[in-house]
Amino acid sequence: MAVLLTAQDLTTNFYTYEGVVRALDKFTLSIDHGCTFGLVGESGCGKSVTVRSMLRVIQSPGVIEGGRVLFSEQAGTDPIDLLELSEEEMEGIRGDSISMIFQEPNAALNPVLTIGYQVAESFLFHRTAQMSTRICEKIDGGVSFGLLTPLYRAMLSIAAKSPKSRFLKACSRIPLLRRWDTPVKDEAMRRAVDIIGKLGIANPEEIVTRYPHNLSGGMKQRIVIAIALACHPTLLIADEATSNLDVTVQAQILQLLNDLKKESISSILLITHDLGVVAETCEKVGVMYAGTLCETGKVEEVFSRPLHPYTQALLTSVPKFHQEGELQSIEGSVPNLVYPPSGCRFHPRCPKAMEQCSIEKPELKELRKGHFVACHYAEAQVGGLV
Amino acid sequence: MRKKILELKGLEKHYPVYGGVFKRKVNSVKALDGIDLDIYRGECLGVVGESGCGKTTTGKAVINLHAPTGGTALYYPENGEPVDIAGMSNRQMKKAGIRSRLQMVFQDPTTSLNPRMLIKHIVAEPIKEQEKLSARELEAKVVSILEMVGLSRMHLMRYPHEFSGGQRQRIAVARAIAASPEFIVLDEPTSALDVSVQAQILNLLDSLRKDLNLTYLFVTHHLLVVKYISTRIAVMYLGKCIETCPTDELFMNPLHPYTHALLSGIPNPEVTGNSSRIVLEGDVPSPLNPPDGCRFHTRCPFCIDICRREEPALIDVGGGHSVACHRQDSVAALVEERYGISGYC
């Protein structure tokens, strides 16, 4: 399978009062086309920082220090390094080819704008050119927008070529002429109604006139998903998309994502701390600990035969349907990343820690087919299999 | 014969909604609308349901932290006559020595511990309420309680912010058991914690219950957690208790369609391959105007005419299993027929 997105040696630091927080330390990850990838880990292990670094939406005092994020939208094309693009080019990618569902729908939606406006905004931002072309064709086909139609037609054809041109910006300050984009806005709203309807919300025509506080938690989450899906992204990043929802609503959202994956989006990166969600929806999984990826591979493989001691401990600490005996817990707590442990970052809590672990940072190695582990102990155990 | 510790009869908690020019009471949020529940000594009763179904309100109303607006909550002391605590004022409860018997651990340990108090003072406060001890005795007692929850003497002179989330929750538990209670309401004690820490707290709570002979009311929305720790489960929906039964029985043989939906919606951390689930349509109706008839009928996949008209009563079907559903006899067959689910274990 072709690789869609690769993060290589991604390093992100936060320069805080206390010191430099090394949130991501040479993080490496790759996601294939058409794959649902689950990223799991405890809170504070850098799951959100990872995706925010990939999309370059890290807020100050965070700084991306190094590494590469290679993204190839079509399989087989040369990948582009997202970290080297200009901010303007990056804006064109965010929300278009890569889009993100945020954790807290209440915080992701603007409380003073209508639902319709917020969904239509992504069409206006990324699809103005396409929509203008469509409307030009309509005008040529005989649709009229009043006396100034020929003038609007001329402006729309400019918008079709360069939607951010200065001329159009100037025109939108002049009365009458500023109305050239009304048909574009109408078209965007129509598309918004369309996509909200597709997500299984009853009477979308009415919903678009409402405000976020009028909707329930599950509905708001659907709206956030609608915004993310508006431009048919190649990669959808869901950052704890279902964590704050109830079991029944979570079931609805997960089914929705599953259906959507079949139809439109090519890949999903699902960030969660719920191992159950990963087991049921993902094909591949990556386990993170304190800013590093410690194990990655196929879900069945990693969950049934985990090699890294952290993954093993994490799996035994979750209550299951067939629970036998006491839950095992991991001693100690997540380290302070201002002073990360030397060598392997898990070694102070690791039951299998060896001398080597505190000195040398383990590399991510393929110990079984498609199953990568960063652990000295596992390497010594499995060693010669590959 | 198991001894009861609390008996709830038609317990209600309505929050008034004021409106209009004169701010009269125009409606009420029926957070708890007539709940019948017996809690026995030494058990851990898990209360599950979606958010807004009245789980936390139950927890608070049971120990009279929020005065219930109707119904009775009988407290059976170890020896003596049962007392109705639903109508009692805080002072009366303190005087009768009941307040210290009924304790609570809150959801978020960051907000439930006073940031300006030392751990020593936080844990000592409930002890001081009960008995007069010299400073040295008090400290010895505080240390012994901290040791019970896995902390030590060196933590005495610290403030809550110096601890991790799991340790803070241990302090909250220590504070609850310091008053030597019989009954503790645990309101989502692990939902703010990570899985590895959650396991520590769950094991701690379980061993404390056995050692100190405590009774728990464990409020949570996480069904696998409740399966691990509880001996009996009550499922709530929109201010009503719709099914109560022993834990194993609930997972083997659920009778209410809502329980089926909840159980099938649990993401299973074991990779099994088959995962068919009942996906309910829509959201929980507003507790301002709960639907007529059975409260679940608006989302129930097996709703028939009688469900829209009559509200089902909670009936005992034997083996300590009670359910409130008109079609409880045929639900299991219907679920298997439509969704192909025959069990959750």
> Which of helix, strand or coil describes residue B270?
coil
Cβ separation A251–B264 shorter than 8 A: yes
Q: Rounded CA gap, B105 and B184, in Å? A: 7
Cβ atoms B39, B46 nearer than 8 A: no
DSSP states of B96-124: TT-GGGEEEE-S-HHHHS-TTS-HHHHHH
Cβ separation A280–B261 shorter than 8 A: no
Q: Which of B194, B204, B264 is the best substitution to test chain A (most A C-beta atoms within 10 A)?
A: B194
Q: List C-alpha distances in Å: B185 to B73, B217, B247.
A: 15, 5, 18
Q: Looking at CA atoms only, how far is residue B81 from chain A in angstroms?
A: 38
Cβ separation B223–A247 shorter than 8 A: yes
User: Residues A41, A47, B265, B254: is their CA dihedral positive or negative?
Assistant: positive
Q: Which of A317, A322, A323, A330 is the best substitution to test chain B (most B C-beta atoms within 10 A)?
A: A317
- From the list B313, B284, B286, B319, the residue with the least C-alpha distance to B299 is B284
ipTM: 0.79
Q: What is the pLDDT of residue B341?
A: 76
Cβ separation A320–B224 shorter than 8 A: yes
Q: What is the pLDDT of residue B190?
A: 86
Those residues whose C-beta lies under 8 Å from the C-beta of residue B82, and which sit 6 or more positions away, are B7, B74, B75, B76
Which residues 278-317 of A are in CB contact (within 8 Å) with B? 279-281, 299-300, 303-304, 313-315, 317
Cβ atoms A69, A10 nearer than 8 A: yes
Those residues whose C-beta lies under 8 Å from the C-beta of residue B147, and which sit 6 or more positions away, are none
**Which residue of chain B comes nearest to A245, CA vs CA?**
B51
HEC-encoded secondary structure of B5-16? EEEEEEEEEEEE
Cβ atoms A307, A295 nearer than 8 A: yes
Q: What is the pLDDT of residue A1?
A: 67
Read off the pLDDT of each residue in B103-128 and give the average, rounded to a whole number.
Answer: 91
Cβ atoms B240, B34 nearer than 8 A: yes
Q: Rounded CA gap, B226 and B259, in Å? A: 14
Q: The tokens of A339 are what?
A: 């002073």
Contacts of B278 in chain A (CB under 8 A): 251
Beta bridge partners of B244: B234, B322
Angle separating helix axes B165-178 and B119-130, nearest 10 degrees: 10
Contacts of B266 in chain A (CB under 8 A): 247, 276, 321
Which single residue is written with the structure tokens 């206390």? A18
Establish if A249 touches chain B: CB-CB under 8 angstroms: yes
Read off the pLDDT of each residue in B57-69 and give the average, rounded to a whole number.
Answer: 89
Among A246, A252, A254, the residue with its CB nearest the CB of B51 is: A246
Q: The tokens of B297 are what?
A: 């009928």
Contacts of B265 in chain A (CB under 8 A): 247-248, 250-251
Q: Looking at CA atoms only, how far is residue B100 from chain A in angstroms?
A: 30
Q: Looking at CA atoms only, how far is residue B204 from chain A in angstroms?
A: 11
Residues of B with CB under 8 A from a CB of A: 50-51, 164, 166-167, 194-200, 202-203, 221, 223-225, 227-228, 251, 261-262, 264-271, 275, 277-280, 283-284, 344-345
Q: Rounded CA gap, A30 and A68, in Å? A: 12
- Cα dihedral value B184, B188, B193, B195, nearest 10: 100
Cβ atoms B198, A317 nearer than 8 A: yes
Cβ atoms B7, B179 nearer than 8 A: no
**Could you tell me the residue ranges of all domains in chain B?**
255-345
Among A248, A276, A320, the residue with its CB nearest the CB of B280 is: A248
Q: Rounded CA gap, B105 and B125, in Å? A: 15
Q: Rounded CA gap, A229 and A238, in Å? A: 11
Q: Rounded CA gap, A328 and A360, in Å? A: 28
Q: Rounded CA gap, A101 and A240, in Å? A: 8
Q: What is the pLDDT of residues B171-191, one digit of tens each?
A: 999 999 998 899 999 998 888
Contacts of B198 in chain A (CB under 8 A): 317
Q: The tokens of B17 are what?
A: 């909604």
- The amino acid at residue A237 is I
Q: Rounded CA gap, B19 and B22, in Å? A: 7
Q: Which of B195, B203, B252, B300 is the best substitution to test chain A (most A C-beta atoms within 10 A)?
A: B195
Q: What is the pLDDT of residue B244?
A: 93
Q: The tokens of B7 are what?
A: 């008996």
Q: List C-alpha distances in Å: A13 to A50, A107, A181, A272, B218.
A: 11, 25, 43, 22, 40
Cβ separation A275–B195 shorter than 8 A: yes
Contacts of B341 in chain A (CB under 8 A): none
> Which of helix, strand or coil describes residue B173?
helix
Q: List C-alpha distances in Å: A196 to A128, A144, A207, A208, A222.
A: 19, 28, 8, 8, 8
Q: What is the pLDDT of residues B18-41, one digit of tens each?
A: 988 888 888 888 888 888 899 999
Place B270 in a pLDDT band, splitting at 50, 70 and 90: confident
Q: Rounded CA gap, A43 and B197, in Å? A: 11
Among B203, B223, B265, the residue with its CB nearest the CB of A251 is: B265
Cβ atoms B47, B219 nearer than 8 A: yes
Q: Rounded CA gap, B340 and B337, in Å? A: 6
Contacts of A310 in chain B (CB under 8 A): none
Q: What is the pLDDT of residue A386?
A: 47
Q: Rounded CA gap, B303 and B282, in Å? A: 15
Backbone angles phi, psi at B161, to 5 degrees: -70, -10
Continuous segment of H or E residues that includes residue B199: helix B195-212
Distance of CA A97 to the CA centre of its chain: 11
Q: Rounded CA gap, B292 and B311, in Å? A: 7
**Could you tell me the residue ranges of all domains in chain A?**
3-112+211-282, 115-190, 288-385
HEC-encoded secondary structure of chain A? CCEEEEEEEEEEEEECCCCEEEEEEEEEEEEECCCEEEEECCCCCCHHHHHHHHCCCCCCCEEEEEEEEEECCCCCCCCEEHHHCCHHHHHHHECCCEEEECCCHHHHCCCCCCHHHHHHHHHHHHCHHHHHHHHHHHHHCCCCCCCCHHHHHHHHHHHHHCCCCHHHHHHCCCCCHHHHHHHHHHHHHHHHHHHHHHCCCCCHHHHCCCCHHHCCHHHHHHHHHHHHHCCCCCEEEEECCCCCCCHHHHHHHHHHHHHHHHHCCCEEEEEECCHHHHHHHCCEEEEEECCEEEEEEEHHHHHHCCCCHHHHHHHHCCCCCCCCCCCCCCCCCCCCCCCCCCCCCCCCCCCCCCCHHHCCCCCCEEEECCEEECCHHHHHHHHHHC
Cβ atoms B198, A330 nearer than 8 A: no
Q: What is the pLDDT of residues B196-240, one digit of tens each?
A: 888 889 999 999 999 999 999 999 888 889 999 999 999 999 989
Q: The tokens of B160 are what?
A: 């809550």
Cβ atoms A159, A266 nearer than 8 A: no
Q: Which of A248, A257, A275, A299 is the best substitution to test chain B (most B C-beta atoms within 10 A)?
A: A248
Q: Rounded CA gap, B239 and B10, in Å? A: 11
Among B265, B269, B275, the residue with its CB nearest the CB of A248 is: B265
Burial A5-32, CB ≥16 within 10 A → b, else e = bbbeebbbbbeeeeeebbbbbbbbbbbb
Which single residue is written with the structure tokens 């080819």? A97
Beta bridge partners of B187: B219
Read off the pLDDT of each residue in B159-169 and give the average, rounded to a whole number.
Answer: 88
Asked if the A3-112+211-282 domain carries CATH number 3.40.50.300, the reply is yes
Collect the ranges in chain A with pLDDT lower than 50. Answer: 386
Q: List C-alpha distances in Å: B76 to A281, B13, B46, B61.
A: 48, 22, 20, 16
Q: Looking at CA atoms only, how far is residue B161 from chain A in angstroms?
A: 14
Q: Cβ of A273: how many Cβ atoms within 10 Å?
A: 18
Q: Rounded CA gap, B227 and B225, in Å? A: 5
Cβ atoms B189, B198 nearer than 8 A: no
